[in-house]
Structure 1
Amino acid sequence: MSDLASKIESVLFVSTRPLSVKRLAEVLDSDSKKVETALDDLGKRYKERGGGVSLVRAGKEYQMMSSGENAKIVQEFIREEFTGELTRPSLETLTIIAYRGPVTKPEIEQIRGVNCSLILRNLMIRGLVEAEEDKKLLATRYRISMDFMRYLNIRDISELPDYERLRSDKHLQELLEKKAETPPTAS
């Protein structure tokens, strides 16, 4: 497998949404033609080897998905996985989005200090978070959903406890400084 195909595979694996050839080329600082060739090679490899994961093309976008043969077990797992209680890292991420949103993934990761791709995917699957494209920043921004607000029985995000104080940049800076002084823990 080429280095470019390996990078594409990694990016598609952690992406919370399908990606176009153009977007992959931007992210990987590569040429669109090379990305298309690598995607074709990657698609052939997945098709030849079979297995539980496949590379799916929908129009001009690509995404990694579980194979159709495993749909029943995957649906059961998702139902169990996403109906239970939220983990502490999920709650932390949801809190950041609620008080700081709309916010980008790198901003969330700067605050938390760890990769949040899977947590964001889980929160979106649960319907608590929504992704929106920011055309100016050329980035995805995350915000809480109406389901989140309905669940908490609030009509406006500002009804969250200490919303104005916790939303301020000054308070966030204090928290980041405290976090920098504290040894990291496993999340």
Structure 2
Amino acid sequence: MTNAKVLKLLIFMLKSQIESILFVAGKPLALKDLARLCASGKAEVEVVLEDLKNKYNHEENGINIIVAGSEVQLVSNPKNKNIVESLVKEEVYSELTQPQLEALTIIAYRGPITKLELETIRGVNCSLILRNLLIKDLISVEEDKVIDHNRYRVTSKLLKHLGINEVEQLPDYDKLSKSESLTEILEQTNNAHDV
């Protein structure tokens, strides 16, 4: 294979990786983080992003790529604002599903908690659940610079809805929030993830 073909293949692979990451992230990503995730240089990522913007940022496409400063995000086309808003409103005002209730309960009793810890307890990917709970303003996210992960906690809106002022007022809070077996499992998971 010639050098030109190899380069074309590498760019094609990088383009595919960037599209996938931006789709799954659902939020702005720093260019440096995108480059790190793709094991590529920032300059290569910027070139591919320009190409992707040329590919997607047209009136007839449903998605666009926005680069704002040092962050990039995959977003819906602004012309589809009304239809997208109606979907978001449905999600906000729809009833909670059983998986959402489970995740919300875990976050209430064990929060602030990382996505990895939540997924360890539930045994399944929780990305969509967290997204929906954030949209409904039932949980909030805060960056934990020490462990380089986001932590999730319940919001005052949820506490108000439950008729309590703090999570410590939840039934059996002391017992459930300090479960030694659960703490041990989470410590093992965090230690394994740090290695």
> What TM-score comes out, normalization by structure 1 length?
0.84
2:147 counterpart of 1:137: yes
The 4+ residue runs of structure 1 with deviation greater than 6 A are 173-176
Structure 1 gaps of 5+ residues are 177-187
Equivalences for 1:1-187 in 2 at 5 Å? Answer: 2-48=12-58, 50-172=60-182
Q: Report how far residue 19 of structure 1 moved.
A: 0.8
> What TM-score comes out, normalization by structure 2 length?
0.81
Q: For the Cα contact (< 8 Å) 1:165–1:171, is it kept in 2?
A: no
Q: For the Cα contact (< 8 Å) 2:140–2:154, is it kept in 1?
A: yes
Q: For the Cα contact (< 8 Å) 1:166–1:172, is it kept in 2?
A: no
Q: Report how far residue 49 of structure 1 moved.
A: 8.2
Q: Report how far residue 127 of structure 1 moved.
A: 0.5
Q: For the Cα contact (< 8 Å) 2:113–2:151, is it kept in 1?
A: yes
**Matches of 2:40 and 2:126 in 1, distance apart?**
25
Structure 2 gaps of 5+ residues are 1-10, 187-195
Q: Report how far residue 133 of structure 1 moved.
A: 0.9
Larger Rg: 2
Instruction: Count the aligned residue pairs.
Output: 176
**Matches of 1:14 and 1:50 in 2, distance apart?**
22
Q: Report how far residue 71 of structure 1 moved.
A: 0.9
**Matches of 2:78 and 2:59 in 1, distance apart?**
15
In structure 2, relative to structure 1, the CA distance for the partners of 1:109 and 1:68 (3 Å cut) is: same
**Matches of 1:147 and 1:136 in 2, distance apart?**
27
